[in-house]
Structure 1
Amino acid sequence: MTVATMCAVVLHSPWLPLALVVLVALDGPFPPLPSETVLMTAYATAFASGNLLMVGELAVSALLGCLLGDLLVHTLGRSSTRLVRRVDRAGPVASWVSATMLARPVVALVAARFMPSGRLLSTAIAGRVGVPVRRFVPGSVTSSTLWGTYMMTAGLLLGPVVGNDPLVGLAVGAGMAVVTASAFGLACRVRLARRAAVARAGTPVGQRDPAAV
């Protein structure tokens, strides 16, 4: 059996939606897992074959996996010292998420969801600063739905490219996942840098931090 055949069997397996629930959930605490690539390619394969039932199953799987993974990291954020140290090293993005999370958890979770490792960062911070589950879940559902819609749209665009060659879909999907995550991350960092520059420019000279001069 060739690699392409194996990929085709996996992408057409009736167990794929359940496997994606687990993969997307574990992607929360372990961002290197290729959940985006697999989900995007699965959508592309479903659209290419005209299997709208599979498209619906994948959408439900993605949402359920996101919610379960987010709740797991939210819980770990309350107690895991290793995770707290990782958050502390995340720099200005973590500072913005922390400052926004208590007042506007939905905004913080949605904004961070599309950044590299942003899902782990934002959900861990939500647990760390004590956002209650009843306020956390709406933000998780909103960010997960937007992310899932983006994955579905990308899969729809990839459908004609995938055709009968799932390896092409995996390669293109992986490339799109990297490029888009990097673009969102860069845009967020540029925006934070501009805000910091404006804040410094608006601070009276006598009140500036001597170390920043």
Structure 2
Amino acid sequence: MFGDLLDTLAAQDLVLMWPLLLAFLTLDASVGVGLIVPGDALLIVAGTTAGSPPEVLALIAAGVVACVAGASGGHWAGRTLGPRLRHGRLGRRIGEERWERAEELFERSRWALAVAYYLPVVHALTPAVAGALGMPYRRFMPWAVIGGTAWVSTYVTLGAVAGGVVREHAELLLPVAAVAALVVVAVSAAVRRAISPGRAGSPEPSSASRPPR
């Protein structure tokens, strides 16, 4: 049954999949949709619809474009609204702990801004935090592009592989879904550990490490 569903999805024209992916990932970091619906899941589901390498590449391209648009919108919102965004009604509902977790990325190395895409919720806040802290757009965006490209490529490819396996062997649906979920959890855990303050060799936070205002 699920195999038939994947076949149906795979038969859909990319003209349908592109706008869906573009819309969601653009809103993901620009207005915080990623705080409600995990982008990881969307990318994997989108990947399952790809029936060929060119379609996988097309979905990745759409995802990267959307990530750039979303990061740009989030940065603009943070720079324009500043503390009002964090301390407003939406900001309070998100929770101070999540804001602080996003800020910690700026107290590590710049590469932490890229791998933040693998951290659910945190990556949706990172662009706004960057703008609010005064990090110049031209310094933030290269890391957003690198991180967004890696994130989209990883999970769209994972979805494509999982979808292909299930289409050939429908009885493997549950094991394949479990493996995909474990990959997402493992990657997220590895990233958290890599940027953890207690990680050996990670720099100590300092005022000098914060981006210029």
Q: TM-score, normalised by structure 1?
A: 0.69
> Structure 1 residue 129: deviation in Å?
0.9
Q: Does 1:26 align with 2:22?
A: no
Consecutive unaligned residues of structure 1, counting only runs of 5 or more, are 201-213
- Unaligned 5+ segments in structure 2 are 205-213
Whole-Å Cα distance in 2 between the matches of residues 18 and 66 of structure 1?
13
SS in 2 for 1:116: coil
SS at match of 1:89: helix
| Root-mean-square deviation over aligned CA pairs | 3.6
* 1:13 and 2:17 correspond: no
Letter in 1 for 2:98: A
Q: Which of residues 87, 96, 101 in structure 2 aligns to 1:88?
A: 96
For residue 67 of structure 1, what is the amino acid of its counterpart? Answer: V
Query: Where does 1:17-166 land on structure 2 (aligned, <5 Å)?
Result: 17-28=18-29, 29-31=32-34, 32-46=36-50, 49=51, 51-78=52-79, 79=81, 80-81=85-86, 82=88, 85=92, 86=94, 88-90=96-98, 93-100=101-108, 104-105=109-110, 107-163=111-167
Structure 1 residue 62, shift from structure 2 partner = 0.7
Deviation at 1:39, TM superposition (A): 2.7
1:36 positional shift: 2.9
* Partner SS, residue 27 of structure 1: helix
**CA deviation profile, 1:14-37 (whole Å, cap 9, x unmatched):** 211122111222222112325433
Identical-pair percentage: 25
In 2, are the aligned partners of 1:62 and 1:148 still within 8 Å (CA)?
yes
- 1:208 maps to none
TM-score by length of 2: 0.69
Distance change >3 Å, CA 17–CA 68, structure 1 → 2: same
Amino acid at match of 1:121: L
With over 3 angstroms needed to count, the CA separation of the structure-2 counterparts of 1:170 and 1:143, relative to structure 1, is: farther
Q: 1:91 to 1:131 in 2, by over 3 A?
A: closer
Contact 2:3 2:167 in 1 (8 A): no
Shift of 1:149: 1.9
